């Protein structure tokens, strides 16, 4: 029987790091803790990358707002402060490396990102499986998890299978799973799996992914209304670099972050083929809150699942509200709507429907590859993610009331 895994299983499973947190807590009581100074983080990134060219200062405001929110809201442990600082330093050093690589390879800016498949749905609505299925099209390239974290130098056709960064990425993910084993049952991870394109937006520190690391509602509120253009500048620059290394006809991309800035997305990718996935938002909201409670448990002194749930239902509602407002004024057929239930029932038929919406059809080879992939992929190999809305202050009936407008608008079947 598959083991059920809940957010309560999320923890920092390292005696050494727990001891570090105890010692750090004692030092914090006398006034010392690992620093999160924005200037120091930028300086560390410059040293790590070996250059001071960040390609502009658009990252500065989100960095300062994120740090301010961390200090006032996140309740980070000593290890959490060290880990989150390292994450910010890594993102900015990657931004510098991408900037330097693009300057050394100016022809990359001529790369055209043609008709990308972009999945817009909320987390837990089947976006991962859909991204993988689209990526099985021989004419389409999915973004791999390792590539999202190590963009340049881009992998080439000669190194795409044995690039040493693949093994390094898998080792890092194995380390994460050892620190918090519950994550394996909740979120598929692996260097060669299809990845959200959110790491590219993290290069400007304007993205939803940052909020999975810590409880930072003030930063999240700012993110909802900030100008996302600088994040998409980095997004496109990263895709162009990767496309130089391995040319492709199209990309398979996804992140729910696109929903609340569709106008900006379409400015950068005007011919994108957009897919909006839908699923009963009751279990979606609960699952997302459970996942984020689990992830934040590694870095926080203590997590408050009710507060995390309130924060994340607000984010998800905002994303869907923005999407619905855009849908109301956009031309008919601006995207194809896909329901989780139909995709789980018949993935191949769903893919044919998606392609048909854009006047195309999957190739015979693509269909055979889909069938082979589905045969090989067990969904619960690391356990089954179990979640209860009561843990986050809701019932499924109360969530149905909260999401009534969205469910009725797109005729979404209730699961719970």
Are the CB atoms for 66 and 210 separated by under 8 Å? yes
The rounded distance, in Å, linking the Cα atoms of 399 and 416 is 10
Quick one: tokens of 100? 């330097």
What is residue 326's predicted lDDT score, i.e. its pLDDT?
97
- Give the long-range contacts of residues 185-190, CB within 8 A, separation 24 or more: 185/3, 185/5, 185/380, 185/382, 185/383, 185/384, 185/385, 186/5, 186/287, 186/290, 186/291, 186/294, 186/385, 187/291, 188/128, 189/145, 190/145
Are the CB atoms for 201 and 118 separated by under 8 Å? no
| CB-CB neighbours of 273 under 10 Å | 20
Are the CB atoms for 4 and 386 separated by under 8 Å? yes
Say what the pTM is: 0.94
pLDDT level of residue 275 (50, 70, 90 thresholds): very high
What mean pLDDT value characterizes the chain?
93
pLDDT level of residue 110 (50, 70, 90 thresholds): very high
pLDDT exceeds cutoff 90 at 395: yes
Sequence-ordered list of residues with C-beta below 8 angstroms from that of 120, at least 6 positions apart, any chain = 254, 256, 258, 259, 262, 274, 275, 276, 277, 323, 335
62-91: pLDDT as tens digits: 999 999 999 999 999 999 999 999 999 999
* Candidate ranges 8-17, 176-185, 375-384; pick with highest mean pLDDT: 8-17
From the centroid of its chain, how far is CA 327? 23
What is residue 270's predicted lDDT score, i.e. its pLDDT?
97
Quick one: tokens of 33? 């803790």
Residue that has been written with the tokens 């959200």 in this structure? 196
What is residue 361's predicted lDDT score, i.e. its pLDDT?
96
Residue that has been written with the tokens 């301010």 in this structure? 68
The rounded distance, in Å, linking the Cα atoms of 234 and 202 is 9
Quick one: tokens of 290? 């459970």
Q: Does domain 10-410 have CATH number 3.40.50.300?
A: yes
Ordered DSSP codes for 16-75: HHHHHHHHHHHHHHTT------HHHHHHHHHHHHT----SSSTTHHHHHHHHHHIIIII-
């Amino acid at each position: 029987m598959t083991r059920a895994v809940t957010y309560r299983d999320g923890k920092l499973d390292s005696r050494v790091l727990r001891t570090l947190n105890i010692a750090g807590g004692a030092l914090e009581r006398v006034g010392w803790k690992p620093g999160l100074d924005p200037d120091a983080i930028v300086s560390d990134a410059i040293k790590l990358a070996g250059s001071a060219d960040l390609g502009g200062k658009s990252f500065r405001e989100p960095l300062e707002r994120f740090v301010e929110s961390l200090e006032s809201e996140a309740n980070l442990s000593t290890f959490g402060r060290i880990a989150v600082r390292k994450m910010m330093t890594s993102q900015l050093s990657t931004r510098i490396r991408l900037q330097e690589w693009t300057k050394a390879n100016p022809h990359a800016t001529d790369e055209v990102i043609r008709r990308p498949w972009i999945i817009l749905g909320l987390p837990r609505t089947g976006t991962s499986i859909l991204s993988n299925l689209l990526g099985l099209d021989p004419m389409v390239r999915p973004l791999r998890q390792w590539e999202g974290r190590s963009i340049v130098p881009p992998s080439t056709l000669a190194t795409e299978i044995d690039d040493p960064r693949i093994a390094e990425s898998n080792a890092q993910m194995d380390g994460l799973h050892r620190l918090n084993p519950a994550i394996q049952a909740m979120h598929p991870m692996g260097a060669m799996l299809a990845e959200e394109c959110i790491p590219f937006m993290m290069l400007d520190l304007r993205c939803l992914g940052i909020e999975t690391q810590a409880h930072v509602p003030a930063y999240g509120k700012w993110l909802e209304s900030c100008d996302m253009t600088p994040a998409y500048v980095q997004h496109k620059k990263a895709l162009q670099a990767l496309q130089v290394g391995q040319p492709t006809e199209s990309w398979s991309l996804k992140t729910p972050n696109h929903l609340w800035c569709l106008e900006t997305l379409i400015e950068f990718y005007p011919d994108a083929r957009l897919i909006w996935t839908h699923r009963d938002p009751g279990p979606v909201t609960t699952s997302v809150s459970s996942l984020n409670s689990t992830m934040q448990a590694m870095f926080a002194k203590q997590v408050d699942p009710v507060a995390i749930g309130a924060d994340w239902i607000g984010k998800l509602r905002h994303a869907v509200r923005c999407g619905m407002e855009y849908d109301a004024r956009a031309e008919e057929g601006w995207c194809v709507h896909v329901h989780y239930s139909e995709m789980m029932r018949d993935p191949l038929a769903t893919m044919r429907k998606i392609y048909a919406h854009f006047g195309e059809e999957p190739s015979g080879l693509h269909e055979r590859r889909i069938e082979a992939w589905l045969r090989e992929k067990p969904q619960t190999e690391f356990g089954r993610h179990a979640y209860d809305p009561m843990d986050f202050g809701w019932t499924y009936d109360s969530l149905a009331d909260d999401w009534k407008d969205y469910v009725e608008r797109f005729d979404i079947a209730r699961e719970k």
